[in-house]
Structures are given as structure tokens and as C-alpha cells.
Structure 1
């Protein structure tokens, strides 16, 4: 028998509780236990006027942003609509059914103003890291570093070739916000000062973004999202936005390691990374700070013609010389020279030479220097640190570290596939930094919720 037609019967009074209608196993219930924003108002107190109309509660804005980044809601307009309709989102944002959701423009005004001036989003991210440390998810013994390209909100059609670009013609007073940020970062190691090489194209709407073809496909404008994680549970302990070039990404490692040491007193015993971070200066910096570099050495000394490479020569540190496989000495200095060209090259390398008459009479000359009168070898300034990394690469711990490094790549996959951060919405270095901080905060909160879920309470009868 077909039942009667269902028709809405409006009632004069409703007894309704959001608490009863949010499922006990909802992700936001677990996340809510780790979101403590009680100090946000005090933290922002100096950035609000003591007179005028009351503003939107900053805690409400932060909670709405967390909802958006935790569930991959990229548009703030859509975020306001979802919070208006979704009961769980209202519950998390402390909004009752009759409470009005803020307008989407409120986010822009606060983000470009007091949120950035106070570095609130950095403060929020560090609060989640501190909570992860408190819950025992971070030991600080083993850390991994990597970077991922995130497409910028820019395209080639609105760009200029490097020979036609002149930043000196820009009037900062009349320039858009992203252009002003670009001019402010020209001397920063993470952006303008990372490399003297000019990009092939420069975007008009976001000139700080990097034109790159690093994915071996069509080139695009991008920023690099740099993660420093603790490998125990894959918690992100620091994040940094840089240009999408190797020098900037490697340089951010020093910034993040020093920052977590100052902020959380975390000093890893080992750092895990890929070959891009295995340069001599980077390895030397790590070894000087007693951090074991579990990093493949970035080495171009190998030869493809079958002759002996530098690795075939034995280093004699006590006498500052190399010993060739035939037992002959390669020295840097055999007497005092007034010619500076016979000394260090000035590029952080030293040259070691064998005697010409020795090489000419050597039976292994065809395997050593068939096209030269004598064998020459260059030694980098940080070659000792490079050797430390080579020795570590022969251990079992290194094999384990290479497996742990995949945790960083998994976080980037989660960032793009689950949270939907394939392309930035905000422009400029500050916009990229804001998005990366919020996304990393959301990932840490989801990690806490997954490892330490909320206790299930029985439903009321």
C-alpha cells in the first residue's frame, strides 16, 4: 500500500540541537578536540581599533578557513554557502541555526590586513605543531625535506619575455598587490636573490611566480611548497614558500631547520632528502651542525669514457694529496707560487696535479689521462662532508631513510588529490605562503584526528 504524500508541516516552535545531529564519527568532532583558539583574540588585540562597529569574530573566520582547507573547499564564496547549509560545519564554527554566516569579502579584508600583519596563520600552524609534540607524535630525531610545485594563478598569455621586462618601470604606488610583494622580495634568498638567472617569462599578474618546465611537460608559472616533516608519523613541523628553482628550495632547508630549533627546540640527528639537496655547501652546513645527511651526493665528477674517476683515487688527508691507483701522488702545491692561478680556483675548489714525467711513463696512462699530459683532480671545499654522506649511503639506516622519505611525497599527494591544492587561488609570495600554511595546518589536524580519534558516545534513545 502506497503511503500518504509527504508534505512539509511548518511548526510554530522547534526543539533542535546541532550537537545531536552531528555524527559521533564525523571528522570535525575529532579535529575540534585539537583546535584551541582561545588566545586568538588576545593575539590580535593590537590590530583592532578600540572604537567603531564590532568586527566579525576572528575565531569564526579561522574555523571557517580550517573547514575549507580540511575538506578541499577552494572557493571562499562556496565555503560560505557550505557552512550555511552543512550542520556539521555550523557546529564546528560555533554557529547556531539562526546565526548569519559572514560574507566572503570578510576573508579578503582580514587576510590582506591584520592576519598577515600579525602572522596569525604562522602562529596557528605552530600551535598545531606544538599540539602534535604534546601528543607524542613528534620526536625530532629523524626529519625529511622535500618540495613540490604548485601552479600559480597566472598564465603565459599575460606575461612578458625576459628581454622585454623592466621592473624599474613599475611604480609601486600604482602596482597591484602581487606586484608590490614581488618588488619587496627581490632581495630575499627564497625569491629574487635565489639565483641571478632570469626566468624565460615573467607573469604580469604574479611576477614572483616561476616559469618552469620541471615536470617534463608544458611549462607553467608556479611556486614551490617546501615541507620539513618528522618521519615518526609524518607530521609537518615547518613549511615555506619559495620560487620553483633548486637554489631557493635547498636554501629554505636552512631556514626551516633553524626555525624549528628556535621555536620547538627540535634538532634532528639525521635529515633525509633527495639528490637535489646533496650539494657540497648544503652537506657541509649539515655536518657542521652535527646532522647526519641521509642524502644522495650531487656529484658530476663521473666520466663516461671509461677512464678513472675521482672516486678511484685515494684521498690522503694527512698529507693533503691524492694517491692514484698506480701509487703516484697528486699534490696541490709542490713549492711556493706567486701566481694566484696555481692556488685555489676561487670557486670553492682546489686543483691537484700529478707530475708530467710520471704520467708520461705510467703504464695506465690510457685509463687515466689519455688526452692530457698529466692527470688533474679538483676537490671541493666541502668534500669531507660529501664523503660523510657517501659513507652513510652504505649503511642499513640509509636504506630505511630512503623508504621514510616517501612520507613527504605522500603528504604532497594528499595535498593535491584530497585537499585539492593543485593551483593557488591567491597571488604573490604572501598569498602562496598563506595557502601553504593553512593547508599544512589542515593536514596536521587531520593527522591528529586519524591517530587520536574522538571517543564514540552512545546515541540517545
Structure 2
């Protein structure tokens, strides 16, 4: 027994983590990127442990990390360093992080996730999804105008071409005219107002070309990355995390998140049945794709969607509208609007509206007939709204807020994701993967190492049929029913006896 093992208490966090978690699998992951000749490199296991410590201690600076690890006996024991050994230089951590590819960090996250799944901490049934902006290591005040799209590339290498493409204007001519018109209106309204008028379509950051300006009501504009997160509702274990561009809508990432989670859980014979997300992930295409995959979604539609049109009744069987005067508006055509959304047009005949008393108030301008349009995915929207209006839908929205939002806040406030200290999207993803790995390791250390096997036994308190829901750590939930007195559940099921949650009793 070493001196540090005697000094550090056995119930101390890093002592317990060193005894329970084995990170030797890292050596096989990084073996292709290490050579066995020359001066010995930083031990890959020590490297990963140092990064995990940074997230455990909420440290975003490599220099501060080494300083803290040097003085902390528990961290020294976790790293395998005795009192007389010197820790690596902080620059070594930065260089090693840059050289090891993203796939290694991703596999570290998946290995720890597999550990949580095997311990029964992941139910798989319901996944909650959300996102947040994380500040990039770049200043919005140093952004530069993009080059014109017609300029030719000046470099020959593939990597240089990809980097230069990000500095060229890729927006359409119409979109650029809209931006310039919007800026001119602002300048006319407030000509003395200081500050630059910046857009992701016309400007870029020379410091970090992957960082994007994030715009959120009530929040300061800043260069950031989008932290996309998927959390299992069983024990709030993170099942997905990635760094995405912050100038894209959340809905563009939903299917990628769902497919990645399903693929990973399928290897453990776990099935995703429900997906919970906020309105930012809502779109007709996403609703349709989830239905085709056999997944029940609880995702509110965007605020622009209208369930009904005042004065008009929609008939889903004939796919047509009927106005209050009995005039038919059949389906006319499918078109794509300026924002790229596919819509269906419904149009009446000019002769039917010619003598209508409401013609002036109903038909705008010089048009001769009444035209209506709605999204191509109206049926999917209506089914989603009907699902959300039920008790199960309202309960699902409360569960989403109680599941993924606390995890998101914890990562940002307590696991070192207040700011991304490295450059580019790949570097941001490396940091996020290790932050999620540290979070899941804490979950595993708390719940996955000692799950007692017990019997859950209950008796009925009434002659009516009783429905009772039990939530366990190794399964999403179990519904049991009983008449009169009797045993509701007698199977051996592993669960955390300190965290059993009972739903209210519903009598049928």
C-alpha cells in the first residue's frame, strides 16, 4: 500500500473513482497515434484522467488544472503520481489534445456510456433532447468581412480549400439584399448608435472560423457553439453530446441525435420509444421521420403553425377547405416558399367568389379567387398537437424539463462548459465529449456500483382496480394492476431503494 493510499480517505471521491473505474481501455484507442521510440510521451491514461479532473473540478485552464492537481492529494492518487513526482507541463496537455483525433474522445464517451448501460442506469425507453449555446474562444469584435463568392481559391491543398470556403460569402443574392436593406433601416433609425452590424453570412472570425454568432432573445450576441444533448430519463445519464454550428436551427440536428442514440442502445438490446424535446426541434419533416421510425414524439410545433383558419373548415378526407359561405377550396398545387418550406395551396374558383358579400374583406388586392395554404405536413402537426394535449403529453413535457434542463445547466455551470477554450468545432466536440464522460462517471459511481436486489411487494387498499407505476433504475417503468389484496410484483428487480418514485394512484 502506497503512502498516498494511506493518506487519502477511502470514501474520498477520487479514491473511490480509482478503485471502481478502469480506464486502461484508452491505451488501445490511442495506440495507433503513439510510437515506442524516442522520448516517452505523456501516458494516455494519465492524459484522459487529467481532462476528466478538469471537468470534475470545473476548470477550463490547463495551467490551472496542473496547479490544482499538484496540490490535491486525491487527484495525485487518481493519476498514479506519488508525492515526489512532478506532473506534466500544461502545454503537454494542449498539444496532446490537438494531436489525438476526435474519434478517440468519442469512443471514451461511448465506453463509459456502455458501462452505465450494463449497470442498469439507462432505460432507453424515453430520451430527452435539448441544446444550449457555449461561448467560443473568439471575440465578436474581431470578425472580418467574408470574401466575395466569385473570387477563386488561392490555395491548392484540400484542407486549405475547406478553410477558405468558410471565409467566402455563400448566401444568395436575394438574401444579401435583405441583409443590406435590414442594416440600412437600422442605421436610419439609430444613426448615432455605436457598434458593428454583423451577420454569419457576411462576416467570419479569423481566430476560429467554425464559431458562429448566436442570437437569442434577451441574451448577448456572441461567438459560440451549440451544445446538443440527449439524456435518458431513467437516471439522467447522457446518451448523446456533440458540438454543432450555432447558426442552424435545432430541428436540423434532431434526426442525427435520435439515430445516433438508437444505434448505440440497439447494441445493448434497448429500444427508444419516446423522444421529448422543445419547440425548437419541431418541424413537419421531423414528425414524419419519427413516425416512420416507430417513435412517439412529444415536440411542440413552432409558434407559426395554425391549427385552424378562421371562417374555413378543413376536410381531411377530401383534402379541401370550405368557407363559411359554403364555397369549396380544393387542393391546387404544392410549392416551396422563400424559406424553403414545402406547402400546399388551396384555391377557389373566381366565379364562386364573384358575388360573395365578404369578397372585399376575404380576398386581398386584385386577386379574383380566395387562396389558402398550409404546411405539407399538416396531418403530422395535428397528430402531434392532439398527443401533446393529453395527460401523457403534458406529463412528458414536465419530464423533459425535469430531465434534460438540469443536466444541461450542470454541464455549463459545474463541468467546465462555460466557455470552450480550444479552437474549431472538432476541438469543441472533444471538450464536450470529456465533460459528458465525467458526468456519466459520477452517475456510475453514485448509482451503478451498488444496486441491491429486492422484492417489491404491495397490497391493494380498495376493491377497485388499482394502477400503480414503479420507476426503477434499470428500466423505464413498470405498470402493475391488482384487485383486492394480493402481491403486485414479486420478481427480483435491481433498483436503487433510495430513489423509488411512485406516481399518483389512478383508479379505473
TM-score (norm 1): 0.80
Match of 2:224 in 1: 222
What is the alpha-carbon distance in structure 1 between the residues aligned to residue 161 and residue 237 of structure 2?
34
Instruction: Map 1:149-298 onto structure 2 (within 5 A).
Output: 149-162=133-146, 171=155, 182=163, 198-247=200-249, 249-265=250-266, 266-298=270-302
Change beyond 3 A, Cα 1:286–1:182: farther
What is the alpha-carbon distance in structure 2 between the residues aligned to residue 288 and residue 145 of structure 1?
19
What is the alpha-carbon distance in structure 2 between the residues aligned to residue 369 and residue 309 of structure 1?
18
| TM-fit CA distance, 1:251 | 2.3
1:351 partnered with 2:345: yes
Match of 1:21 in 2: 7
1:146 partnered with 2:140: no
Deviates more, 1:63-72 or 1:368-377: 368-377
Match of 1:135 in 2: 119
Match of 2:457 in 1: none
| TM-fit CA distance, 1:427 | 0.7
Is contact 1:315-1:322 (8 Å) kept? yes
1:375 partnered with 2:374: no
Match of 1:427 in 2: 423
Instruction: Write 1 or 2 for the structure with the bigger share of strand.
Output: 2
Deviates more, 1:72-81 or 1:360-369: 360-369
| TM-fit CA distance, 1:435 | 1.0
Task: Structure 2 unaligned segments of length 5 or more: list them.
Answer: 169-174, 177-198, 452-508
1:10-38 deviation line (CA, Å, top 9, x unaligned): xxxxx962222223332224444553222
| TM-fit CA distance, 1:294 | 0.5
| TM-fit CA distance, 1:453 | 6.8
What is the alpha-carbon distance in structure 2 between the residues aligned to residue 237 and residue 170 of structure 1?
42
Match of 1:319 in 2: 318
SS of the equivalent of 1:271 reads strand
Is contact 1:356-1:374 (8 Å) kept? yes
1:401 partnered with 2:396: yes
Deviates more, 1:259-268 or 1:78-87: 259-268
| TM-fit CA distance, 1:132 | 1.5
Deviates more, 1:275-284 or 1:30-39: 30-39
1:178-197 deviation line (CA, Å, top 9, x unaligned): x887558899xxxxxxx998
| TM-fit CA distance, 1:365 | 6.1
What is the alpha-carbon distance in structure 2 between the residues aligned to residue 200 and residue 25 of structure 1?
55
1:62-84 deviation line (CA, Å, top 9, x unaligned): 11111111111211122122222
Deviates more, 1:361-370 or 1:274-283: 361-370
Is contact 1:25-1:454 (8 Å) kept? no
Change beyond 3 A, Cα 1:126–1:174: closer
1:42 partnered with 2:43: no
What is the alpha-carbon distance in structure 1 between the residues aligned to residue 15 and residue 167 of structure 2?
44
| TM-fit CA distance, 1:174 | 13
Is contact 2:116-2:448 (8 Å) kept? no
Match of 1:105 in 2: 91
Change beyond 3 A, Cα 1:400–1:428: same
| TM-fit CA distance, 1:433 | 0.6
1:389 partnered with 2:384: yes
1:238-269 deviation line (CA, Å, top 9, x unaligned): 1111111243x322222222122223215421
Is contact 1:272-1:295 (8 Å) kept? yes
Instruction: Map 1:84-95 onto structure 2 (within 5 A).
Output: 84-95=70-81
What is the alpha-carbon distance in structure 2 between the residues aligned to residue 69 and residue 185 of structure 1?
31
What is the alpha-carbon distance in structure 1 between the residues aligned to residue 161 and residue 86 of structure 2?
35
1:346-394 deviation line (CA, Å, top 9, x unaligned): 4522211233444455567688557665432213222222122111111
Deviates more, 1:64-73 or 1:293-302: 293-302
SS of the equivalent of 1:37 reads coil
Deviates more, 1:103-112 or 1:119-128: 103-112
Task: Structure 1 unaligned segments of length 5 or more: list them.
Answer: 1-14, 188-194, 303-307, 334-342, 456-461
Change beyond 3 A, Cα 1:282–1:216: same
Change beyond 3 A, Cα 1:390–1:311: farther
1:116 to 101, 119, 123: 101
Is contact 2:225-2:243 (8 Å) kept? yes
Is contact 1:240-1:256 (8 Å) kept? no
What is the alpha-carbon distance in structure 2 between the residues aligned to residue 235 and residue 48 of structure 1?
32
